[in-house]
Chain A
Amino acid sequence: MLVIFALVLGLWGVGSLLVSAAILQNDLRATFIGTKPPHAILTSTNFDRVDLAFFRNRPELQSAEFRDLSWQRIEAHPDEWIPVWLFGVEDFNNLSLARFHGEKGKKVPEPGTMLIERNGQLISDLAVGANARIRAGSKVREVPVSGVSFDPAQAPATQDHLIYAYVDKQTYTDITGEPSNQRLLLRLKDVKTRKDIQTAVNRLLADLESMGITVASVNIPKLDEHPHQWQLNTLLLLEGSITFLAFLMGAILVSQLMAAILARQIRQIGVLKAIGASRFPVFQIYLAMVLIVGVAATIIAIPLAVSSGSAFASFVSGKLNFDILTKRLPFRLYFLLVAAGLLMPILLSLPALLKGVRVSVNEALSDFGIRQDSPSNRKAAAGGPHLPAILVLAGRNTLRRKRRLMVTVFTMALGVAIFSAGFNVRQSLRNLLTDVRDGMRHDVQVVLRDQIPKDTALAPFRSLDNLNRIETWNGGKGELQNRVVSTDDGVGIVALPYDTDLFRIRVEKGRWLQGSGEPEVVMNQQALEGYGNPRVGDTLSLKVAGKKLAVKLVGIVWELDKPKIYMDQKQFDAFANPDHLVNSLMFVANDKTYDRVMVLKREIEKAIRPSDLNVLYVMSQAERVKVIYDHLNIILTTIISLALMVLVVSGLGMASATGINIMERTREIGVLRAIGATPEMIYQLFVAEGMIVSLASVLLGLLLSLPLSIAASPFFGSLMLGDGAMLRTAFSAHGFWVTLVATISFGWLASRIPARRAIRVSTREALAYE
């Protein structure tokens, strides 16, 4: 039963992970590709000079469609405004690109109404029939929600904390005041790389330029890749690693159990041989036994694996807002699971099987009593002060099966190391969030769509309660290279007083701004990646609003944000902002407690409502940190869950090893009881042995977790946050204690259960055990 249980457990774990990985790997991509995502997005105010037929007739283009987009604000809950991405859709009945589909209510919104993306319902009060309030510029307009759509191409609204809304062109213009047909989606034929797209787009741009059409920006998203593919990649990588480990540990577990079970059959093998069976028939008999065990485990494990794997895939798809499309798992997956279920026990028990059938009749029939250890194994302690013999016995018994002990301690230590490293990586991410929070010391930020005079910007906020001060910053979009085609929409420039106390982010390389001498900038990591990784000391050409300036890169900061360049406000004003306009207001509260800051934020919203301010967004620092945390949360949860799974599997490995040890020593238990050991003493002896193994494992595991954490933190940093992301290795004290307590508890349980079973056997039965 124990071996079937171990096999079921191993197959179940490995199977669940394989099933979920197969579903997730296929379905996010399939769902995303099914939307026909654009290969390039062009914006221009001159597209009215050509019609769509011009694009659609070009041989390199598969399809083209206008899909305007405006960033506005929407009231998610009373007095709580969040960004809304408002899409102006050309023809709801004929979406050739970036397809979405209706799920509830109207599929085509009536004029003046809108559809919202389903994931947005989870972060707002918006539903079919609700009157959404959208603020565009200084105007608030009520727009009824006529339907709910599912747009698998978008990042989950729950993670980005924004709403996606879809309206027809006229409604788009009515709400935003912006003309339609200014944003063009293109999908090309036969492109395999980003470079192919860039080449084709360059040709198109040249043709458009010759027609007098100026393209303001070109955005080439990652080729056929969902915006949150990185999360899935991280999860799949985690799953892959854990699958491998679970398989390894399951294999060790089964191998140990098979060896122990076959060891119990030695006398029977002797009897079989004594009555004339040669090696091959004996081998066949035990092979058939192993096969029966494999078949039983496979029959039990596969439905469990399919069910739990599908449930996990469903959980992840819910988090990433895509649908599970897989109705039937690929045949090869079942084949793999069945093969693993049948072959794993055979392969793992082969060494024990071969050893068993090779044993001579005499050896097999003489297998009585307590197995004698080889004298070379250990030199007995001579004379001197003695520890209590029961402690000596526990210690020596632990070392009795050295190979098994090594395997048990190593697998348990590996589990401990992964579990502990999981906490350390989590701590690294938490530290990062703390850095983010501490780096930006304002409490609420109001970002304006336009640059306006400082006095005008500050006017609505003169009499707010709990307000210490407001600092004004400026900025805008800039280009670091004189090419229209870029990998992003340009880089955001933040112009702030170089000596501000509201921005204290750690400088990774170089130094912070000094505000004197030649124009200088500090870049964040994301900007660095997007612009060819310039080095500190390089002079770059910065273009803002048609003006160019040579700036020196003096430092690099790392933050979880979009590409940004920081520049001293005075230098920026001298270069591109002679009227000292501002577009960003940094509010500092007197009382910085969460509730009071949220009250301040609501007061700010109230002050904005009657004003003419054209607000892009209002965000508190707490919310900003939450947005980042929500992006990482699924990974953090998965890391800890999977690490816990490894610990549980390794704990089961230890339980099985203890179980085997106890089973092998049943007669010895009888002897101990015959010479006066009470059941409680036997129980304490085995628990002490389990604790020695646990302590050794936890010590080794914690030691192993240090290099593992050092390697894992930058690795996950790069995977989750982009190449070169500097996720610093951290030590989680909380994780240390959880690991310690969990491992010791596992060790205690792992020895307690078989120890309890051992003392239930009567002295007579124990002595009669063969």
Chain B
Amino acid sequence: MNDQNKTSQSPLIELCGVTKQFQSPAGAAPVLRDVSLAVDRGEFVAVVGKSGSGKSTLLNMLTGIDHPSQGTVTVNATDIHRLSESSLARWRGKNVGIVFQFFQLIPTLSIRENLILAMDFVNSIPKNERNRRAEALLAEVGISQHADKLPAELSGGEQQRAAIARALANDPPVIVADEPTGNLDSKTATAIQGLFAGLVGKGKTVIVVTHEDVSDSAYSRTISLSDGTVVSDRKRET
């Protein structure tokens, strides 16, 4: 079996026996306990659980923002737990788009520049195409008219759309969002959900961490965490 076949047949994301514990004055505090799971291409995954259940830590494992204390994390055929900080940053920029709860756009840059900055960091899109790509992505999320505004001039929903466009800047196969609608009204939240669903339709794998009720949403899979372990992993019947 050649590598190409291996890549196409293996899960896009695979966690094997991942344990994460933090040292505190009270001793070692385990946040994830022996978590193993696999996510395939094109899945739209909701990670749910109460506060402190380990959702955000799991997301940090997937994005390489944090390293596991034990176990392995493989994303898009790369063992990311083995990468250095510099390699991880480059890998992340190319392979994972991250959307934060509080948008986290760079306030001194225009929306267009926020997108171009992400492309500049990774350098996988040719320089002369970056501006055009930024405009296309902003049109895709419906805020092309705000391209040259500062983030502070946009509403929360518009900023989150901009953040999603930035996450797509380098065309990564995986989009990870941490409570992306937690700071938005229900109407805007529904629109953002729609955007994510659209991305899945275009072949992206989207993983959303949320504490909201996901029963009526478009997620194809829901992983529930409690006390650092996966307590349920349900796939929606299609």
CB within 8 Å of B: which residues of A? Answer: 368-375, 378, 380-383, 386, 388-390, 392-393, 396-397, 399-400, 667-668, 671-681, 762-764, 767
Contact = CB atoms under 8 A, between A and B. Distances in A.
Given A678-B85, A762-B66, A671 B106 contact: yes
B215 interface: no
Given A378-B108, A679-B89, A392 B150 contact: no
B120 interface: yes
7 contacts: A369-B100, A372-B151, A375-B153, A382-B148, A389-B109, A675-B166, A764-B60
Contacts of A372: 107, 151-152
B14 interface: no
Interface string B161-196: 000001101100000000000000000000000000
Interface string B133-162: 000000000000000111111000000000
A389 B113 contact: yes
Given A368-B102, A389-B113, A676-B90, 20 more contacts: A369-B100, A370-B105, A374-B152, A375-B152, A378-B108, A380-B110, A380-B150, A382-B148, A389-B114, A399-B108, A674-B65, A675-B93, A675-B118, A676-B92, A676-B93, A676-B170, A677-B121, A762-B66, A763-B88, A764-B65
Interface in B15-61: 60
A375 B150 contact: yes
Contact of A674 (B63, B102, B119): B63
What 8 pairs across the A-B complex have the smallest Cβ distances?
Answer: A676-B93, A380-B110, A369-B102, A396-B108, A389-B117, A676-B121, A382-B148, A372-B152
Contacts of B63: 674
Contact of A390 (B102, B107, B117, B169): B117
B66 A764 contact: yes
B94 A676 contact: yes
Contacts of B120: 388-390
B98 A674 contact: yes
B238 interface: no
A678 B120 CA distance: 11
Nearest to B120: A389
B131 interface: yes
Contacts of B100: 369, 671, 674
Contact of B109 (A382, A383, A396, A762): A396
B5 interface: no
Given A381-B110, A674-B92, A373 B152 contact: yes
B103 interface: yes
Interface string B76-93: 000000000110111011
B150 A373 contact: yes
B223 interface: no
A674 B177 CA distance: 12
- B contact patch SS: helix
Nearest to B102: A369
Interface residues of B, number: 45
B107 A371 contact: yes
B104 interface: yes
A392 B113 contact: yes
A668 B89 contact: no
Interface of B: 60, 63-66, 85-86, 88-90, 92-94, 97-98, 100, 102-110, 113-114, 116-122, 131, 148-153, 166-167, 169-170
Given A679-B89, A762-B66, A400 B116 contact: no
A392 B109 contact: yes
A383 B90 contact: no
A454 to B, nearest CB: 83
Nearest to B170: A676
Nearest to A373: B107
Which one of A368, A381, A392, A400 has the highest number of Cβ atoms from chain B below 10 Å of its Cβ? Answer: A392
Which one of A382, A389, A393 has the highest number of Cβ atoms from chain B below 10 Å of its Cβ? Answer: A389
A386 B110 CA distance: 12
Contact of A675 (B60, B66, B98, B113): B98
Given A676-B90, A676-B92, A393 B118 contact: no
Nearest to B123: A676
Contacts of A383: 148
A377 B223 CA distance: 44
Contacts of B94: 676
A672 to B, nearest CB: 8
Contact of B85 (A371, A381, A382, A679): A679
A389 B106 CA distance: 11
Nearest to B109: A393
A370 B103 CA distance: 9
Nearest to A380: B110
Contacts of B118: 675-676
A675 B172 CA distance: 11
Given A396-B109, A676-B90, A678-B86, A667 B104 contact: yes
Contacts of B106: 370, 393, 668, 671-672
Contacts of B92: 673-676
Contacts of B107: 370-373
A673 B91 CA distance: 11
B4 to A, nearest CB: 25
A380 B113 CA distance: 9
Contacts of A763: 64-66, 85, 88-89
Which one of B86, B90, B107 has the highest number of Cβ atoms from chain A below 10 Å of its Cβ? Answer: B107
B109 A673 contact: no
A371 B104 CA distance: 9
Given A372-B152, A373-B150, A680-B86, A393 B117 contact: yes
A380 B110 CA distance: 6
Which one of B64, B104, B122, B170 has the highest number of Cβ atoms from chain A below 10 Å of its Cβ? Answer: B104
A372 B102 CA distance: 11
Contacts of B86: 678-680
Contacts of A381: 110, 113, 148
B149 to A, nearest CB: 6
Contacts of A374: 152
Nearest to B124: A676
